[in-house]
A and B are shown apart, each in its own frame.
Chain A
Amino acid sequence: MKSHPRPISPHLQVYKLQTKLPPLLSIVFRIFGAGLMVGGTFFFLLWIVAAGTGPEAFEAVQNFFGSFFGYIVLFGLTVLVFYHMCNGMRHLLWDTGFGFDMPTVRKTGRIAVGAAIVLTLLAWIIGLSVYG
């Protein structure tokens, strides 16, 4: 029986991350996903549990997110969530069995990065105009 090479986990030492876009996008997708589950849920819980606790706690957390460090956290999380979402849609496309040829892989990769940048900028333009 003919055997096919099995897909393996994004491997940090084997793939040439510096020279190839698709494996770089793959491992960044994983790292950002892990970052969302660890950091994203932590800062979300900080916000929503403070709101559920009471006015004083919520005001303190709102002030934190309005601070310089809070802005950095929020900017980081918007980058993580929009890249993971856009590249995740590539994975959903692959799950249907399409888009595996290398030109398409590179093309959808560039589209995912572009869409993530657009969504991040859009969120910050709207956010700063609403807040400012």
Chain B
Amino acid sequence: MSLRTPLGKARGLGAAKEGASSHWMAERLPAIALVPLMLWFVFVAIIGNLDASYADMVTFMGSPWNATLMLLTVFCAFYHGMLGLIVIIEDYVQHHTIKHILVFGLKMYAALGSVLAAVSILKLTFGG
């Protein structure tokens, strides 16, 4: 006789091997953060640098606040976007192999893109 509850036994037996709620929550926490971050990004980081020269960018990213908010925007956006696009791929791509290749490629793109952006930001922060 097992003392485990039916729910405890069933957990992890689905196709995903883990609770979908972890993916769900991981997509939403950066979503909440992205509301103020994207407003800052558009109205301060982009509009404030529309006609910026290279030297202006070095000055802008030289501010610890600007660099920090930019890095947070990058990591939240890439992470949230990666999780969101994985769900879309899983919903619409039927072919098993193509689906997994797309999801893997997307994860690589998110890792490459976010680190590439972070290194570029930090290079400017430390003097260009």
Contacts and interface: CB of A to CB of B under 8 A. Distances in A.
A41 B53 contact: no
Interface in B84-128: 84-85, 88, 91-92, 109, 113, 116-117, 119-121, 123-124, 128
A98 to B, nearest CB: 15
A49 interface: yes
A123 B52 contact: no
Contacts of A49: 116-117, 120
Contacts of A95: 28
A126 interface: yes
Contacts, number: 87
Nearest to A36: B81
Interface residues of A, number: 37
A78 B84 CA distance: 19
A41 B35 contact: no
Given A34-B88, A59-B54, A41 B123 contact: no
Contacts of B113: 41, 45
Contacts of B81: 33, 36-37, 40-41
Contact of A52 (B32, B46, B47, B119): B119
Contact of A59 (B34, B35, B48, B53): B53
Interface residues of B, number: 38
A48 B121 contact: yes
Interface in B34-74: 34-35, 38, 42-43, 46-48, 50-55, 57, 61
Given A41-B81, A123-B47, A51 B54 contact: yes
B61 to A, nearest CB: 8
A9 interface: yes
A30 B91 CA distance: 11
B76 interface: no
Interface of B: 28, 31-32, 34-35, 38, 42-43, 46-48, 50-55, 57, 61, 77-78, 81-82, 84-85, 88, 91-92, 109, 113, 116-117, 119-121, 123-124, 128
Interface of A: 9, 30, 33-34, 36-38, 40-41, 44-45, 48-49, 51-55, 58-59, 62, 65-66, 78, 81-82, 85, 88-89, 91-92, 95, 123, 126-127, 130-131
